[in-house]
């Protein structure tokens, strides 16, 4: 047990760093340069925001805190839950501006409300993506080397462009002063509190400085520094404290791949005490301050379809269904019912056959088929079977239009009938007989009706 109730990290290193070792293996496996690059979401521990996969996330640090016996949960605002439950607030500010005065005052009041509380504020002046590509470059193949170099240059250019939002020169950030002038250098030597830097080999650490953290109060204590540049500063607030970190170069996911960086992160965890409830404030410089927590409401059956992003999707589906209904089931004019038909009426079959022959447009062909049918019918009558014909269907076939003069008969119709061909098979030869037979057969049918 160290001073101020701090626990030593000696002997507990292996299980504590297991998540970071897993991340290291994953980082080296990504040397293939995927088309989508790497996740770079900053300052979150939540998986939904790539907090556990992003090189700039704090998912590994959160897991280390849990392994150390702490309860950790994220919040996007300051409210009663933090006021009443929290022992530690860890704030990785997600933008490049000083913390808002109202947020600082709220946190100072929270610190003074109960002793032993801690606020950890990490200045955003670092991006782990350029360091990631620098680590990947030696593992890349010859065909990938140029792509890796381009991605590294693009990542560094993007970070330098974003940090232009930092105020130039020395400015007052409330709890400290910060010089945003770009002066990058790698940390190769450490000095300060032995509980923090004991056992840390600075030459093997991977820590970078771009701006400079400047203590602004006589009561501030520099816990870790490098060649006069402060890395970690502690400011007492009553019986509580504010711990200010110059940047996240030894606390972010990819940074914790480095063993020496993990030792410094372990010293920060020991500074917080034991069995603490730690609130990770995931927001920018101006967090929302709420007087009351939002009421929990059980989701209803329509909540999913009325909330984005699903509401516009369902709205389009409903519109498509309406259009489908209009296309599939239209009603034009007054609705009416068709006259009922008897499925046992043989006349419907005869009428349908006559309509098919009439629709063919070839009167000669229809007449030939009709003659063949009549021959079969006469044969059946001679055998004593009898038949009934529909006079309406027969007249529809026989009275169909004759072919026009411009129509030429088909090849079969151009052939002259041979001497051996019976007259009954010559088209039109039995036309009077057909009319007579039709007249005779229609008589019984009319009487039947």
* Model confidence pLDDT, tens digit, residues 131-164: 999 999 998 888 889 999 999 999 999 999 999 9
CB count within 10 Å of CB 249 equals: 27
pLDDT at 127: 95
Peptide bond into 78 cis (omega under 30): no
The four Cα atoms 305, 309, 312, 315 give a dihedral, to 10 degrees, of -20
Q: Can you give the pLDDT at residue 333?
A: 65
- Alpha carbon distance 79, 171 (integer Å): 29
Q: How far apart are CA 314 and CA 319, in angstroms?
A: 9
Least confidently predicted of 62-76, 304-318, 431-445: 431-445
Mean pLDDT on 331-336: 67
pTM of the model: 0.62
Q: What is the 3-state secondary structure (H, E, C) of 173-218?
A: CCCCEEECCCCCEECCCCEECHHHHCCCCCCCCCCEECCEEECCCC
DSSP, res 68: T
- State whether residue 234 is helix, strand or coil: strand
β-strand partners of 212? 179
Q: How confident is the model at residue 31 (pLDDT cuts 50, 70, 90)?
A: very low
Burial call 293-326: b when 16+ CB within 10 Å, e when fewer: eeeeeeeeeeeeeeeeeeeeeeeeeeeeeeeeee
Distance between CA atoms of 447 and 449, rounded to whole angstroms?
Answer: 5
Distance from C-alpha of 432 to C-alpha of 434, rounded to nearest angstrom: 5
Cα separations in angstroms, 144 against 24, 139, 161, 294: 20, 9, 26, 50
For tokens 């080397």, what's the residue?
A: 145
Provide the pLDDT for residue 399.
53
| Tokens at 348, concatenated | 């419907």
pLDDT-based confidence at 366, cuts 50/70/90? confident
Mean of pLDDT values over 55-64: 93
Q: Taking 80 as the threshold, does the pLDDT of residue 99 lie above it?
A: yes
Residues 6 or more apart from 131 whose CB is under 8 A from it? 55, 206, 208, 254, 255
* Token pair 């897993």 in the structure block, residue: 22
Whether the Cβ atoms of residue 440 and residue 389 lie closer than 8 Å to each other: no
Task: Provide CATH 3.40.50 ranges for the chain.
Answer: 3-289
Query: Could you tell me which CATH class the domain 3-289 is placed in?
Result: alpha beta
Strands 277-281 and 221-226, by their bridges, are: unpaired
Q: What is the pLDDT of residue 326?
A: 81
DSSP 367-422: HHHHHHHHHHHHHHHHTT------HHHHHHHHTSPPPPTT----HHHHSPPPTTS-
21-29 long-range contacts (CB < 8 A, ≥24 apart) are: 23/60, 23/253, 23/254, 23/256, 23/257, 24/257, 27/55, 27/132, 27/135, 27/136, 27/254, 27/257, 28/135, 28/136, 28/139
| Residue 125, pLDDT score | 95
What is the chain's mean pLDDT, rounded? Answer: 79
Q: How much is the CA Rg of the chain, to the nearest whole Å?
A: 46
Four-residue CA torsion sign, 408, 412, 415, 416? negative
pLDDT tens readout for residues 375-428: 888 887 777 654 444 444 445 555 544 444 444 444 444 444 443 444 444 444
Cα angle 45-47-51, degrees, rounded to a multiple of 5: 40
Query: Quick count: other Cβ atoms within 10 Å of Cβ 85?
Result: 11
From residue 433, alpha-carbon distances to 60, 375, 428 in Å are 104, 10, 10
Is the per-residue pLDDT at 8 higher than 60? no
- At 227 the pLDDT is 94
Read off the DSSP letter of residue 80. Answer: H
3-state DSSP assignment of residue 144: helix
């Amino acid at each position: 047990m160290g001073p101020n109730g701090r626990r030593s990290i000696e002997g507990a290193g292996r299980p504590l760093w297991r998540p970071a070792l897993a991340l290291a293996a994953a980082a080296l496996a990504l040397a293939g340069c995927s088309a989508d690059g790497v996740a770079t979401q900053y300052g979150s521990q939540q998986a939904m925001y790539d907090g556990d996969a992003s090189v700039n996330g704090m998912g590994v640090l959160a897991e280390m805190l849990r392994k150390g016996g702490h309860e950790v949960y994220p919040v996007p605002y300051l409210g009663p839950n933090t006021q009443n439950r929290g022992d530690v607030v860890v704030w990785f500010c997600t933008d490049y501006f000083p913390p808002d005065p109202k947020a600082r005052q709220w946190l100072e009041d929270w610190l003074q409300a109960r002793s032993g509380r801690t606020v950890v504020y990490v200045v955003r002046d670092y991006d782990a993506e350029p360091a990631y590509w620098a680590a990947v470059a030696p593992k890349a193949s010859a065909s990938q080397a140029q792509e890796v170099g381009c991605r590294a240059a693009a990542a560094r250019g993007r970070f330098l462009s974003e940090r232009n939002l930092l105020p130039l020169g020395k400015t007052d950030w409330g709890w400290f002063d910060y010089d945003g002038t770009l002066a990058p250098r790698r940390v190769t030597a450490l000095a300060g509190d032995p509980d923090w830097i004991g056992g840390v080999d600075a030459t093997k650490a991977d820590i970078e400085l771009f701006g400079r953290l400047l203590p602004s109060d006589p009561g501030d204590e520099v816990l870790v520094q490098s060649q006069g540049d402060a890395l970690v500063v502690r400011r007492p607030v009553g019986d509580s404290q504010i711990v200010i970190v110059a940047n996240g170069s030894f606390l972010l996911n990819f940074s914790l791949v480095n063993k020496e960086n993990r030792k410094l992160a372990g010293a920060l965890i020991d500074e917080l005490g034991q069995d603490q409830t730690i609130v990770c404030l995931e927001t920018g410089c101006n967090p929302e301050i709420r007087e009351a927590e939002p009421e929990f409401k059980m989701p209803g059956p329509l909540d999913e379809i009325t909330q984005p992003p699903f509401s516009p999707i369902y709205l389009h589906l409903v519109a498509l269904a309406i259009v489908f209904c209009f296309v599939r089931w239209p009603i034009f004019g007054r609705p009416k019912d068709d006259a009922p038909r008897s499925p046992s009426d043989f006349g419907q079959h005869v009428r349908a056959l006559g309509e098919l022959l009439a629709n063919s447009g070839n009167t000669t062909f229809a007449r030939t088929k009709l003659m063949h049918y009549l021959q079969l019918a006469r044969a059946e009558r001679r055998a004593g079977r009898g038949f009934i014909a529909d006079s309406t269907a027969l007249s529809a076939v026989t009275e169909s239009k004759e072919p026009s003069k411009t129509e030429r008969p088909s090849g079969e119709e151009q052939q002259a009938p041979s001497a051996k061909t019976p007259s009954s098979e010559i088209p039109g030869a039995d036309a009077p007989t057909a009319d007579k037979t039709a007249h005779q057969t229609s008589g019984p049918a009319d009487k039947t009706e």
